[in-house]
């Protein structure tokens, strides 16, 4: 998913922002597939979408190859067969997660009876009684919407940020779907972040996914490799005196149900160190079950990092001269 471009003045650029014909056709196809899948019984629907993404979309789009490359980059001693098996499982989980998150009210109803697990549950319940804000942090692991759905089913209101799709037609109903489960939900960006901060400062609760590459982020290793990471979540927690609590929706072996784990909150302190602790919590989950993390993400971008490092070195050399 990529951030939408800022509007420009020319007609050609305006037309591009409005969406190309390819975007329009792609959106129609995707909507049709989603509608068809949602008519099927749950287990059949999840199996169909998992298989479709794993066997057709991921190989054609290069997602499976990217997952295997990321696994080789972080765990070079892993066998090729093991990398291939994990990449297939990751793609299957991605397909299941996509269609689950297009039926967020159904997911909410499914999670109503799922227990809240982990040492953080007691802290969470106390914060709710006290009216203290809570900022949940998680990664692209299992289904990251499952714990949020479980909380909403219990009467919690959980806001958040979402990154808009580059396809404006698809983004329209994607954004609508994001709002359907619980709000307020804000589009990623300065205005959206300010809206989320205001919501949390007023005693609200929200969730952020932090495991994405950002060239302006802090230098924090992820699975042993440098992965620039924004410290926004920690900074928001500090500004609003919110609990900073990692949670995870871990898919069970049946491929349908989840364990919703709420970990102890991260103590307030230096934002970079708080983000490092968030990262360690996610790393532990990945090391325990690597097939649950979305290895298809461009999380490290080593070539881009090397290019930026060379540019900085040249600039430093020129200044020294």
Question: Is residue 12 situated within a structural domain?
Answer: no
Question: Is residue 210 situated within a structural domain?
Answer: yes
Per the listing, tokens 């949940």 go with 136
Spatial distance between the Cα atoms of 60 and 53, rounded to a whole number of angstroms = 10
Question: Is residue 203 situated within a structural domain?
Answer: yes
Total tally of structural domains belonging to the chain: 1
Question: Is residue 81 situated within a structural domain?
Answer: yes
**List of E strands, the chain:** 116-117, 134-138, 158-162, 185-187, 205-209, 221-222, 225-226, 243-251, 258-262
Question: Is residue 78 situated within a structural domain?
Answer: yes
Spatial distance between the Cα atoms of 77 and 219, rounded to a whole number of angstroms = 25
Question: Is residue 321 situated within a structural domain?
Answer: no
pLDDT in tens, the chain (321 residues): 334 334 443 444 444 444 577 777 767 877 888 889 999 999 999 999 999 999 998 999 899 999 999 999 999 999 999 999 999 999 999 999 999 988 989 999 999 999 999 999 999 999 999 999 999 999 999 999 999 999 999 999 998 877 776 667 766 766 777 677 777 888 878 888 898 999 999 999 999 999 999 989 999 999 999 999 999 999 999 999 999 999 999 999 999 999 999 999 999 999 999 999 999 999 999 999 999 999 998 999 988 877 877 877 777 777 776
The domain containing residue 151 runs over which residues? Answer: 17-306
Spatial distance between the Cα atoms of 292 and 285, rounded to a whole number of angstroms = 9
- Specify burial of residue 132 (Cβ count, 10 A radius: 0-12, 13-18, 19+): middle
Handedness of CA 210, 211, 216, 218 (dihedral sign): positive
Question: Is residue 271 situated within a structural domain?
Answer: yes
Prior bond to 46 cis, omega within 30? no
pTM above 0.75, yes or no: yes
């Amino acid at each position: 998913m990529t951030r939408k471009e800022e509007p420009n003045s020319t007609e050609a650029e305006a037309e591009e922002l409005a969406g190309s014909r390819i975007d329009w056709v792609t959106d129609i196809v995707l909507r049709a597939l989603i509608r068809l899948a949602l008519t099927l019984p749950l287990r059949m629907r999840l199996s169909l979408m998992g298989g479709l993404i794993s066997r057709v979309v991921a190989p054609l789009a290069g997602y499976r190859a990217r997952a295997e490359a990321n696994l080789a980059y972080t765990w070079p001693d892993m066998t090729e067969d093991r990398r291939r098996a994990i990449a297939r499982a990751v793609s299957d989980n991605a397909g299941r997660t996509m269609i689950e998150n297009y039926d967020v009210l159904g997911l909410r109803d499914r999670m109503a009876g799922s227990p809240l697990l982990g040492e953080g549950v007691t802290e969470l319940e106390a914060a709710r009684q006290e009216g203290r804000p809570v900022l949940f942090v998680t990664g692209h692991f299992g289904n990251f919407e499952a714990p949020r759905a479980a909380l909403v089913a219990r009467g919690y209101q959980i806001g958040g940020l979402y990154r808009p799709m580059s396809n404006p037609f698809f983004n329209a109903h994607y954004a609508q779907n994001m709002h359907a489960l619980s709000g307020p939900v804000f589009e990623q960006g300065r205005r959206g972040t300010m809206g989320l901060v205001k919501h949390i400062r007023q005693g609200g609760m929200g969730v952020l996914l932090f495991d994405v590459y950002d060239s302006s982020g802090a230098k924090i290793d992820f699975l042993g490799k440098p992965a620039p990471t924004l410290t926004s979540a920690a900074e928001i927690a500090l500004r609003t005196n919110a609990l900073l609590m990692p949670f995870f929706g871990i898919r069970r072996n049946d491929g349908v149900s989840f364990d919703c784990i709420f970990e102890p909150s991260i103590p307030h302190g230096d934002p970079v160190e708080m983000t490092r602790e968030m990262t360690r919590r996610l790393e532990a989950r990945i090391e325990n079950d690597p097939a649950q993390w979305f290895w298809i993400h461009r999380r490290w971008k080593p070539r881009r990092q090397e290019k930026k490092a060379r540019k900085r070195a040249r600039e430093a050399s020129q200044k020294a001269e």
